[in-house]
Amino acid sequence: MDSSRTFERESPAGGVAQPGPADVIRFRGHRGGVISMHRALAHFRLGPMNLITAISLFVFFLSVWLALLPLICGLWSRILAAGIRVLPLRAELVLAQHHWTPYLRFGIPYFRMEPLLPSLETWSLTCAATLLLFAATFLLSGRWIPVIYLSRGVLLVQATALLYFALLPARFPHTPESYIGGLVTSGMALISTVPLLFGLTYYIFDFGLLRKALLTAITMAHLTLFLPFQVLLQALVLQKTVLFMPVLYIIFGMPLDVLLIIAFYSWGMTWSFRSVKLRNE
């Protein structure tokens, strides 16, 4: 966007008035440079074709996802079964059968595992490691501020888990079986909402039909392949003790999947818009 047009205002007579002092200050950064409008807002045009494209892509991807859901659940089952064979994982693969319609039947895979409360040794070692890592964050320079606060947030979650299992270990209501089942179910539900999320936030921009479809397909495919490996890694941790379940759920559960969607969306927003010639054709 041309910075000279940032401050233009229409006068009552229909001409362009000169910018006032308030306008100049409003659009100036702290170093004196001009703050131009974001490219997404500058090029945003919610025309009828963009709206039709958004609705069409949403219906298409949701229909394809539901049609392939039994096959995808079968793929997840095979990956999890292979993980049990090749990894030091003591678990039993179970399928939770679901019948949404007479034509849509699938089995959600999850693990049946023995819940183990933390032993005194495990609790003590985890507590010592948490305290040492928290102290180490104070040794990092100011350039690592995002890493510092992120690390302290993760360690704070683990500290609350340590406190809970020190006081009320027998009252912990969750098991690895219920947690893994919830992780798979919530991940499947999140993937199902990707077409709707992109329909409201990405399809409305003029990136072209192919780019919108490509970004949606890449995002859903990545999450589909990521989910079973996320489950395997967390199952390996939970078979040792349920002490780490809170940090896995709050930090490395669905929030991680949401961040992946945001990352793909941010990448898609860096793509160039369609040219004026293509929009007029």
176 and 260, same domain (yes or no):
yes
| Whether residue 135 has pLDDT greater than 60 | yes
18 and 61, same domain (yes or no):
no
| Whether residue 168 has pLDDT greater than 70 | yes
> Which comes out higher in pLDDT, residue 167 or 12?
167
Residue 101: strand pairing partners: 104
Task: Report if residue 77 sits inside a domain.
Answer: yes
Task: Report if residue 107 sits inside a domain.
Answer: yes
The amino acid present at 196, given as its one-letter code, is L
| Whether residue 99 has pLDDT greater than 90 | no
The percentage of residues in the chain with a pLDDT greater than 90, rounded to a whole number, is: 60
Please give the DSSP secondary-structure letter assigned to residue 137.
Answer: G
265's CB contacts (< 8 A; 6+ apart) are: 197, 198, 201, 202, 215, 219
Range of the domain at 195: 45-117+172-280
> In the chain, how many domains are there?
2
The answer to which of 12-21, 112-121, 213-222 has the lowest mean pLDDT is 12-21
| Whether residue 2 has pLDDT greater than 50 | no
- Beta strand 16-17 with 92-101 is unpaired
273's CB contacts (< 8 A; 6+ apart) are: 43, 205, 206, 207
User: pLDDT tens across 182-191, in order?
Assistant: 999 999 999 9
Rounded CA separation 217/202 (Å)? 13
- Transcribe 25-94 into DSSP letters: HHTB-TTS-B-PPPHHHHT----HHHHHHHHHHHHHHHHHHHHHHHHHHHHHHHHHHHHHHHSS---EEE
273 and 195, same domain (yes or no):
yes
The pLDDT value given to residue 79:
95
Enter the pTM of the model: 0.79
> Which comes out higher in pLDDT, residue 39 or 142?
142
The pLDDT value given to residue 160:
95
Task: Report if residue 166 sits inside a domain.
Answer: no
The residue-averaged pLDDT of 137-145 equals 89
Task: Report if residue 260 sits inside a domain.
Answer: yes
194 and 249, same domain (yes or no):
yes
197 and 96, same domain (yes or no):
yes
The residue-averaged pLDDT of 163-171 equals 90
The answer to which of 25-39, 99-113, 240-254 has the lowest mean pLDDT is 25-39
Task: Report if residue 75 sits inside a domain.
Answer: yes
- Transcribe 152-204 into DSSP letters: HHHHHHHHHHHHHHHH-GGG----HHHHHHHHHHHHHHHHHHHHHHHHHHTTT
Arithmetic mean of pLDDT over the chain: 84
> Which comes out higher in pLDDT, residue 24 or 51?
51
User: pLDDT tens across 220-248, in order?
Assistant: 999 999 999 999 999 999 999 999 999 99
